[in-house]
Amino acid sequence: MKKIFFSVALLLATLLFHGCGIILPHSGGIMNPPVSNPFLDLATVHLVGCYGNRSTATVEFVFTVTSHSNIITSGTFGFPNAKFVARGATYKPYSSSGTKVELVRGYPSEVMISVRSVPDYLLQFDRIELAWYFDAAHHNGTVGKNLVFHDVRIVWE
């Protein structure tokens, strides 16, 4: 029995370390939905939440970025081709210039992206694709991959 428990604990720790999501049956949903992080060697990404406001039809998508490098001191996310996809429709962020944050090695920085005109019957975004930029040598253009979140549940107020 101890061997099985240890194996399950090791598997869960491995999944969480690599930014993969797991479904917990008693949690009411997905914790840390799957994230395709193309800059895992430079920084870690964790979902904070996705919060909708019914009266304004806006959604605030929030995640943190923690730099692993002294070289990476700022990041911009979501410009200009960010996509929030739900039920085959694509929603765009309020700002087309992206969200810029300062990064300090080892400390999480919060990124908040506002999306407007989101109907309150949507319960989740199937996919969120964000362009990213750290510096001239480190951005989605040089790597060829966006930061992608999958199955992000919207919590409506």
65 and 111 Cβ atoms separated by less than 8 Å:
yes
**Beta strand pairing call for 147-153 and 89-91:** unpaired
Q: How far apart are CA 157 and CA 154, in angstroms?
A: 10
Mean pLDDT of 105-127: 96
Closest by alpha carbon to 62, among 157, 155, 145?
A: 155
**How many structural domains does the chain have?**
2
Q: How far apart are CA 57 and CA 51, in angstroms?
A: 11
User: Are 130 and 140 members of one domain?
Assistant: yes
| CATH label of the domain that carries residue 140 | 2.60.40.10
User: Are 96 and 138 members of one domain?
Assistant: yes
Distance, CA of 36 to chain centre: 9
What would the pLDDT profile of 7-37 be if each residue is shown by its tens digit?
A: 444 344 433 333 333 333 333 344 556 899 9
Mean pLDDT of 79-84: 86
User: Are 73 and 94 members of one domain?
Assistant: yes
User: Are 74 and 126 members of one domain?
Assistant: yes
What is the pTM assigned to this prediction? 0.77
Residue 110 structural domain: 33-156
Structure tokens at 48: 């904070």
Side chain identity at residue 100, one-letter code: K
Distance, CA of 86 to chain centre: 15
